[in-house]
């Protein structure tokens, strides 16, 4: 592999041109956001029960003036 490629998971590599493309950056950002929010949603009940207030979900609920339901 040359320096003009980036190695990703599952032995996938992208050329620097594709990796630096705006659409790729948007895709990576959206996947990271989805993973982050999914993890917070899945662990919210446990964290609330433990008094752990590090989840983004209560902050988003408050910010957007929604109810937890």
Domain residue extents for the chain? 5-63
pLDDT score of 3? 59
**Separation of alpha carbons 1 and 46, rounded Å:** 44
Residues 6+ apart with CB under 8 A from 17: 4
Pick the closest to residue 57 from 32, 30, 28, 36 (CA basis): 36
Alpha helical stretches, state H, 1-69 = 16-19, 22-49, 56-63
Are residues 6 and 14 in contact, defined by beta-carbon separation less than 8 angstroms? yes
pLDDT score of 35? 93
Q: What tens-digit pLDDT sequence spans the chain (69 residues)?
A: 455 778 888 888 889 999 999 999 999 999 999 998 898 888 888 888 888 777 778 788 888 888 877
pLDDT score of 15? 92
pLDDT score of 29? 96
pLDDT score of 45? 83
């Amino acid at each position: 592999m040359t320096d003009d490629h980036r190695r990703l998971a599952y032995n996938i590599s992208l050329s620097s041109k594709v990796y630096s493309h705006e659409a790729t950056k948007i895709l990576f950002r959206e996947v990271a956001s989805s993973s982050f929010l999914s993890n917070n949603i899945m662990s919210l009940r446990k964290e609330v029960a433990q008094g752990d207030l590090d989840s983004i979900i209560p902050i988003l609920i408050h910010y957007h003036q929604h109810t937890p339901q």
